[in-house]
Amino acid sequence: MKLTVQTKYWKLSEPFVIARGTYTTSDVIIVELQDGPHIGRGEAAGVDYHGETPDSMVAQVEAVRSKIEAGVTRAELLKLLPIGGARNALDAALWDLEAKRTGRRAWDLAGVGNTREIASAMTIGIRSIEGYEKAARGLAHYRWIKIKVNNDDPLGCIEAVRRGAPNSRLIVDANQAWDVPTLYSLGPQLAKLRVDLLEQPVKVGGDKDLELGRSPIPVCADESIDTIDDLQYLKTRYEFVNIKLDKTGGLTAALELAHAARAEGMRLMVGCMVTGSVGMAPGMVLAQLCEVVDLDGPLLQAEDWEHPIQYDRTGVMSWPSPKLWG
Protein backbone atom coordinates (compact mmCIF):
# COMPACT_ATOMS: atom_id res chain seq x y z
CA MET A 1 0.00 0.00 0.00
CA LYS A 2 1.29 3.45 -0.89
CA LEU A 3 0.04 6.47 1.10
CA THR A 4 0.14 10.05 -0.12
CA VAL A 5 -1.21 13.07 1.77
CA GLN A 6 -1.36 16.70 0.71
CA THR A 7 -3.10 19.93 1.60
CA LYS A 8 -5.52 21.82 -0.63
CA TYR A 9 -7.01 25.29 -0.27
CA TRP A 10 -10.26 25.54 -2.19
CA LYS A 11 -11.40 29.08 -3.03
CA LEU A 12 -14.89 29.94 -1.80
CA SER A 13 -17.38 31.66 -4.07
CA GLU A 14 -17.87 34.38 -1.42
CA PRO A 15 -16.68 34.91 2.18
CA PHE A 16 -18.51 32.45 4.42
CA VAL A 17 -19.55 34.17 7.63
CA ILE A 18 -20.82 32.31 10.69
CA ALA A 19 -21.00 33.19 14.38
CA ARG A 20 -17.46 31.83 14.93
CA GLY A 21 -15.76 33.82 12.17
CA THR A 22 -15.26 34.46 8.45
CA TYR A 23 -13.71 32.04 5.95
CA THR A 24 -12.46 32.74 2.42
CA THR A 25 -11.02 29.30 1.64
CA SER A 26 -11.81 25.72 2.51
CA ASP A 27 -8.58 24.25 3.87
CA VAL A 28 -8.48 20.47 3.55
CA ILE A 29 -6.20 17.47 3.42
CA ILE A 30 -6.41 14.89 0.66
CA VAL A 31 -5.33 11.31 1.28
CA GLU A 32 -4.74 8.67 -1.37
CA LEU A 33 -4.14 4.96 -0.75
CA GLN A 34 -2.82 3.03 -3.75
CA ASP A 35 -2.92 -0.75 -3.89
CA GLY A 36 -1.78 -1.93 -7.29
CA PRO A 37 -4.07 -0.39 -9.91
CA HIS A 38 -6.61 0.78 -7.34
CA ILE A 39 -6.55 4.20 -5.64
CA GLY A 40 -8.83 5.18 -2.77
CA ARG A 41 -9.29 8.84 -1.87
CA GLY A 42 -10.45 10.80 1.13
CA GLU A 43 -10.83 14.52 1.82
CA ALA A 44 -11.30 16.22 5.18
CA ALA A 45 -11.39 19.73 6.61
CA GLY A 46 -11.09 18.71 10.25
CA VAL A 47 -12.78 20.46 13.14
CA ASP A 48 -11.44 23.98 13.57
CA TYR A 49 -13.13 24.53 16.93
CA HIS A 50 -11.21 21.50 18.20
CA GLY A 51 -7.99 23.17 17.06
CA GLU A 52 -7.46 21.10 13.93
CA THR A 53 -5.57 22.56 10.97
CA PRO A 54 -4.32 21.04 7.71
CA ASP A 55 -0.82 20.89 9.18
CA SER A 56 -1.96 19.11 12.34
CA MET A 57 -3.96 16.58 10.31
CA VAL A 58 -1.05 15.90 7.95
CA ALA A 59 1.17 15.34 11.00
CA GLN A 60 -1.31 12.79 12.38
CA VAL A 61 -1.39 10.93 9.08
CA GLU A 62 2.39 10.92 8.80
CA ALA A 63 2.72 9.59 12.34
CA VAL A 64 0.93 6.37 11.34
CA ARG A 65 2.27 6.10 7.79
CA SER A 66 4.14 2.84 8.34
CA LYS A 67 1.12 1.13 9.87
CA ILE A 68 -1.19 2.36 7.10
CA GLU A 69 1.17 1.24 4.36
CA ALA A 70 1.55 -2.16 6.04
CA GLY A 71 -2.22 -2.59 5.68
CA VAL A 72 -4.95 -1.59 8.08
CA THR A 73 -8.69 -2.25 8.30
CA ARG A 74 -11.29 0.38 9.08
CA ALA A 75 -11.85 -1.24 12.49
CA GLU A 76 -8.13 -1.07 13.23
CA LEU A 77 -8.04 2.57 12.11
CA LEU A 78 -10.56 3.44 14.83
CA LYS A 79 -7.96 2.41 17.42
CA LEU A 80 -5.00 3.87 15.57
CA LEU A 81 -6.12 7.52 15.47
CA PRO A 82 -8.48 9.70 17.54
CA ILE A 83 -11.62 11.31 16.18
CA GLY A 84 -11.03 14.14 13.74
CA GLY A 85 -10.17 14.99 10.15
CA ALA A 86 -7.07 12.82 9.74
CA ARG A 87 -8.95 9.65 10.61
CA ASN A 88 -11.90 10.77 8.48
CA ALA A 89 -9.73 11.20 5.37
CA LEU A 90 -8.05 7.81 5.87
CA ASP A 91 -11.34 6.06 6.60
CA ALA A 92 -12.90 7.51 3.44
CA ALA A 93 -9.91 6.37 1.40
CA LEU A 94 -10.29 2.84 2.79
CA TRP A 95 -13.99 2.78 1.86
CA ASP A 96 -13.17 4.02 -1.64
CA LEU A 97 -10.35 1.51 -2.04
CA GLU A 98 -12.58 -1.39 -1.01
CA ALA A 99 -15.26 -0.25 -3.46
CA LYS A 100 -12.70 -0.19 -6.28
CA ARG A 101 -11.21 -3.56 -5.31
CA THR A 102 -14.58 -5.30 -5.15
CA GLY A 103 -16.46 -3.42 -7.86
CA ARG A 104 -19.25 -2.69 -5.36
CA ARG A 105 -20.53 0.76 -4.42
CA ALA A 106 -19.85 2.03 -0.90
CA TRP A 107 -23.59 2.16 -0.16
CA ASP A 108 -23.85 -1.58 -0.69
CA LEU A 109 -20.71 -2.24 1.35
CA ALA A 110 -22.25 -0.20 4.20
CA GLY A 111 -25.53 -2.13 3.97
CA VAL A 112 -27.68 0.98 3.49
CA GLY A 113 -28.31 0.95 -0.27
CA ASN A 114 -28.93 4.13 -2.23
CA THR A 115 -32.67 4.14 -2.80
CA ARG A 116 -33.41 7.38 -0.91
CA GLU A 117 -33.22 10.61 -2.88
CA ILE A 118 -30.88 13.04 -1.14
CA ALA A 119 -31.86 16.72 -1.14
CA SER A 120 -29.26 18.90 0.53
CA ALA A 121 -29.91 22.21 2.21
CA MET A 122 -28.08 25.25 0.85
CA THR A 123 -26.52 27.56 3.43
CA ILE A 124 -26.80 31.33 3.65
CA GLY A 125 -24.01 32.82 5.74
CA ILE A 126 -24.35 35.86 7.99
CA ARG A 127 -24.94 39.13 6.12
CA SER A 128 -27.20 42.21 6.13
CA ILE A 129 -30.98 41.87 6.35
CA GLU A 130 -31.24 42.93 2.71
CA GLY A 131 -28.53 40.43 1.84
CA TYR A 132 -30.43 37.58 3.46
CA GLU A 133 -33.56 38.32 1.45
CA LYS A 134 -31.62 38.68 -1.80
CA ALA A 135 -29.77 35.43 -1.23
CA ALA A 136 -33.00 33.63 -0.34
CA ARG A 137 -34.70 34.82 -3.51
CA GLY A 138 -31.87 33.25 -5.48
CA LEU A 139 -32.32 29.98 -3.59
CA ALA A 140 -36.10 29.91 -3.37
CA HIS A 141 -36.27 26.79 -5.54
CA TYR A 142 -34.26 24.78 -2.97
CA ARG A 143 -36.28 22.39 -0.83
CA TRP A 144 -34.16 23.26 2.22
CA ILE A 145 -32.29 26.44 3.16
CA LYS A 146 -29.99 26.70 6.14
CA ILE A 147 -29.58 30.13 7.72
CA LYS A 148 -26.51 31.09 9.72
CA VAL A 149 -27.33 33.68 12.39
CA ASN A 150 -25.80 35.13 15.54
CA ASN A 151 -27.38 37.12 18.36
CA ASP A 152 -27.85 40.27 16.27
CA ASP A 153 -31.54 40.41 15.28
CA PRO A 154 -31.89 36.73 14.36
CA LEU A 155 -35.63 37.07 13.83
CA GLY A 156 -35.12 39.87 11.33
CA CYS A 157 -32.67 37.67 9.44
CA ILE A 158 -35.01 34.70 9.39
CA GLU A 159 -37.98 36.87 8.39
CA ALA A 160 -35.93 38.18 5.46
CA VAL A 161 -35.17 34.65 4.29
CA ARG A 162 -38.80 33.65 4.62
CA ARG A 163 -39.82 36.63 2.46
CA GLY A 164 -37.31 35.63 -0.18
CA ALA A 165 -38.07 31.89 -0.06
CA PRO A 166 -41.68 31.48 1.04
CA ASN A 167 -41.87 27.74 0.35
CA SER A 168 -38.47 26.36 1.37
CA ARG A 169 -38.00 24.41 4.58
CA LEU A 170 -35.69 26.25 6.97
CA ILE A 171 -32.86 25.22 9.29
CA VAL A 172 -31.57 27.96 11.61
CA ASP A 173 -28.00 27.54 12.83
CA ALA A 174 -26.81 29.95 15.53
CA ASN A 175 -23.49 28.12 16.15
CA GLN A 176 -23.85 28.49 19.95
CA ALA A 177 -24.61 32.24 19.83
CA TRP A 178 -27.80 32.11 21.96
CA ASP A 179 -28.57 31.12 25.52
CA VAL A 180 -31.43 28.93 26.67
CA PRO A 181 -33.81 31.81 27.66
CA THR A 182 -33.27 33.39 24.22
CA LEU A 183 -34.07 30.10 22.53
CA TYR A 184 -37.34 29.69 24.40
CA SER A 185 -38.37 33.33 23.98
CA LEU A 186 -37.91 33.10 20.21
CA GLY A 187 -39.73 29.77 19.88
CA PRO A 188 -43.27 31.01 19.13
CA GLN A 189 -42.05 33.47 16.49
CA LEU A 190 -39.83 30.85 14.89
CA ALA A 191 -42.84 28.55 14.67
CA LYS A 192 -44.82 31.30 12.89
CA LEU A 193 -41.96 31.59 10.39
CA ARG A 194 -42.23 27.83 9.79
CA VAL A 195 -38.69 27.02 10.87
CA ASP A 196 -38.19 23.25 10.76
CA LEU A 197 -35.03 22.80 12.83
CA LEU A 198 -32.76 24.74 15.21
CA GLU A 199 -29.14 23.66 15.00
CA GLN A 200 -26.91 24.11 18.09
CA PRO A 201 -28.49 27.38 19.27
CA VAL A 202 -26.74 27.36 22.68
CA LYS A 203 -23.18 26.88 23.87
CA VAL A 204 -21.69 23.48 24.48
CA GLY A 205 -21.98 23.02 28.23
CA GLY A 206 -24.60 25.76 28.43
CA ASP A 207 -27.38 23.39 27.42
CA LYS A 208 -28.00 21.76 30.79
CA ASP A 209 -31.33 23.63 31.09
CA LEU A 210 -32.66 22.50 27.73
CA GLU A 211 -35.85 20.49 28.13
CA LEU A 212 -36.85 17.98 25.49
CA GLY A 213 -40.01 19.15 23.71
CA ARG A 214 -40.22 22.59 25.32
CA SER A 215 -39.20 24.36 22.10
CA PRO A 216 -41.90 24.29 19.41
CA ILE A 217 -39.04 23.79 16.93
CA PRO A 218 -36.95 20.60 17.26
CA VAL A 219 -33.43 21.33 18.51
CA CYS A 220 -30.39 19.62 17.00
CA ALA A 221 -27.02 19.07 18.67
CA ASP A 222 -24.02 19.85 16.47
CA GLU A 223 -20.93 21.04 18.33
CA SER A 224 -22.26 19.11 21.35
CA ILE A 225 -22.05 15.72 19.61
CA ASP A 226 -18.88 13.92 18.59
CA THR A 227 -19.21 10.28 19.65
CA ILE A 228 -21.59 7.68 21.03
CA ASP A 229 -20.44 8.63 24.54
CA ASP A 230 -22.24 11.99 24.21
CA LEU A 231 -25.68 10.47 23.63
CA GLN A 232 -26.66 9.82 27.24
CA TYR A 233 -26.36 13.51 28.09
CA LEU A 234 -27.94 14.76 24.87
CA LYS A 235 -30.94 12.45 24.54
CA THR A 236 -32.96 14.28 27.23
CA ARG A 237 -32.14 17.71 25.77
CA TYR A 238 -32.05 17.46 21.97
CA GLU A 239 -34.42 15.86 19.48
CA PHE A 240 -31.79 15.62 16.70
CA VAL A 241 -28.07 15.04 16.39
CA ASN A 242 -26.04 16.40 13.48
CA ILE A 243 -23.46 13.78 12.53
CA LYS A 244 -20.43 15.06 10.63
CA LEU A 245 -17.68 12.74 9.45
CA ASP A 246 -14.91 15.13 10.46
CA LYS A 247 -16.26 15.07 14.02
CA THR A 248 -16.71 11.31 14.30
CA GLY A 249 -13.45 10.55 12.51
CA GLY A 250 -14.99 8.95 9.45
CA LEU A 251 -17.95 7.12 7.98
CA THR A 252 -17.27 3.91 9.91
CA ALA A 253 -17.72 5.60 13.29
CA ALA A 254 -20.51 7.81 11.95
CA LEU A 255 -22.62 4.81 10.98
CA GLU A 256 -22.15 3.35 14.46
CA LEU A 257 -23.19 6.66 16.01
CA ALA A 258 -26.24 6.92 13.75
CA HIS A 259 -27.54 3.48 14.73
CA ALA A 260 -26.88 4.17 18.43
CA ALA A 261 -28.69 7.53 18.28
CA ARG A 262 -31.67 5.93 16.58
CA ALA A 263 -31.77 3.29 19.30
CA GLU A 264 -32.01 6.11 21.87
CA GLY A 265 -34.98 7.59 20.00
CA MET A 266 -33.07 10.52 18.52
CA ARG A 267 -33.55 11.81 14.99
CA LEU A 268 -30.69 12.25 12.55
CA MET A 269 -29.16 15.02 10.47
CA VAL A 270 -26.00 14.65 8.40
CA GLY A 271 -23.88 17.75 8.08
CA CYS A 272 -20.50 18.70 6.71
CA MET A 273 -17.53 20.96 6.95
CA VAL A 274 -16.83 22.85 3.73
CA THR A 275 -14.94 20.55 1.36
CA GLY A 276 -15.08 19.43 -2.24
CA SER A 277 -17.09 16.55 -3.64
CA VAL A 278 -14.75 13.82 -2.37
CA GLY A 279 -15.43 15.05 1.16
CA MET A 280 -19.20 15.04 0.56
CA ALA A 281 -19.50 11.59 -1.01
CA PRO A 282 -19.11 9.46 2.17
CA GLY A 283 -21.70 11.70 3.83
CA MET A 284 -24.15 10.60 1.16
CA VAL A 285 -23.84 7.05 2.47
CA LEU A 286 -24.78 8.25 5.96
CA ALA A 287 -27.55 10.40 4.46
CA GLN A 288 -29.51 7.26 3.66
CA LEU A 289 -30.25 7.03 7.40
CA CYS A 290 -30.99 10.73 8.00
CA GLU A 291 -34.09 12.92 7.84
CA VAL A 292 -32.21 16.17 7.26
CA VAL A 293 -29.23 16.58 4.93
CA ASP A 294 -26.74 19.45 4.79
CA LEU A 295 -24.03 18.43 2.31
CA ASP A 296 -23.60 21.66 0.40
CA GLY A 297 -19.84 22.15 0.76
CA PRO A 298 -19.06 22.14 -2.98
CA LEU A 299 -21.80 24.70 -3.62
CA LEU A 300 -19.98 27.18 -1.37
CA GLN A 301 -16.73 26.74 -3.31
CA ALA A 302 -15.60 28.41 -6.52
CA GLU A 303 -13.86 25.18 -7.61
CA ASP A 304 -14.22 21.45 -7.14
CA TRP A 305 -12.94 18.03 -8.17
CA GLU A 306 -13.20 16.56 -11.66
CA HIS A 307 -16.34 14.42 -12.00
CA PRO A 308 -18.01 16.37 -9.15
CA ILE A 309 -21.28 15.64 -7.45
CA GLN A 310 -24.08 17.49 -9.25
CA TYR A 311 -26.90 19.35 -7.49
CA ASP A 312 -30.16 20.06 -9.29
CA ARG A 313 -32.04 23.31 -8.81
CA THR A 314 -33.90 21.94 -5.77
CA GLY A 315 -30.75 20.64 -4.04
CA VAL A 316 -31.10 16.98 -5.02
CA MET A 317 -27.65 15.43 -5.28
CA SER A 318 -26.48 13.08 -8.00
CA TRP A 319 -24.82 9.85 -6.97
CA PRO A 320 -21.03 10.25 -7.11
CA SER A 321 -19.36 8.87 -10.19
CA PRO A 322 -17.10 5.88 -9.44
CA LYS A 323 -14.36 8.06 -10.92
CA LEU A 324 -14.86 10.42 -7.98
CA TRP A 325 -15.42 8.15 -4.97
CA GLY A 326 -16.99 4.93 -3.75
Residue 226 lies in a domain: yes
The total of structural domains in the chain comes to 2
* Domain identity same for 27 and 154: no
Q: What is the pLDDT of residue 41?
A: 98
* Domain identity same for 181 and 63: no
Task: Answer yes or no: are the C-beta atoms of 135 and 105 closer than 8 Å.
Answer: no
- Per DSSP, helices labelled H in 82-179 are 85-102, 106-110, 129-138, 154-164
Cβ atoms < 10 Å from Cβ of 87: 28
Chain mean pLDDT for the chain: 96
Residue 113 lies in a domain: no
In the β-sheet with 195-199, what is the strand arrangement from edge to edge? Answer: 122-124, 144-148, 169-173, 195-199, 219-221, 240-243, 267-270, 292-293
Residue 129 lies in a domain: yes
* Domain identity same for 144 and 258: yes
Tell me how far CA of residue 118 lies from CA of 97, 143, 309, in angstroms.
24, 11, 12
Q: What is the pLDDT of residue 154?
A: 96
Q: What is the pLDDT of residue 310?
A: 98
Q: How confident is the model at residue 51 (pLDDT cuts 50, 70, 90)?
A: very high
| pLDDT tens, position by position, 143-166 | 999 999 999 999 999 999 999 999
pLDDT, average across residues 195-213:
95
Q: How confident is the model at residue 178 (pLDDT cuts 50, 70, 90)?
A: very high
* Domain identity same for 12 and 77: yes
* Domain identity same for 219 and 148: yes
Residue 179 lies in a domain: yes
Residue 210: CATH number of its domain = 3.20.20.120
pTM of the model: 0.95
* Domain identity same for 161 and 43: no
Judged against a pLDDT cut of 90, whether residue 20 lies above it is answered with no
Residue 16 lies in a domain: yes
Task: Read off φ and ψ for residue 195, nearest 5 degrees.
Answer: -75, 135
* Domain identity same for 7 and 154: no
Judged against a pLDDT cut of 90, whether residue 173 lies above it is answered with yes
Judged against a pLDDT cut of 80, whether residue 7 lies above it is answered with yes
CB contact set of 181 (below 8 Å; sequence gap of 6+)? none
Domain limits at 209? Answer: 122-300
- Per DSSP, helices labelled H in 209-301 are 231-234, 245-248, 251-263, 277-287
Judged against a pLDDT cut of 80, whether residue 19 lies above it is answered with no
* Domain identity same for 233 and 98: no
* Domain identity same for 47 and 131: no
* Domain identity same for 291 and 148: yes
Residue 50: CATH number of its domain = 3.30.390.10
Q: Which residues are catalytic?
A: 148, 244
* Domain identity same for 166 and 83: no
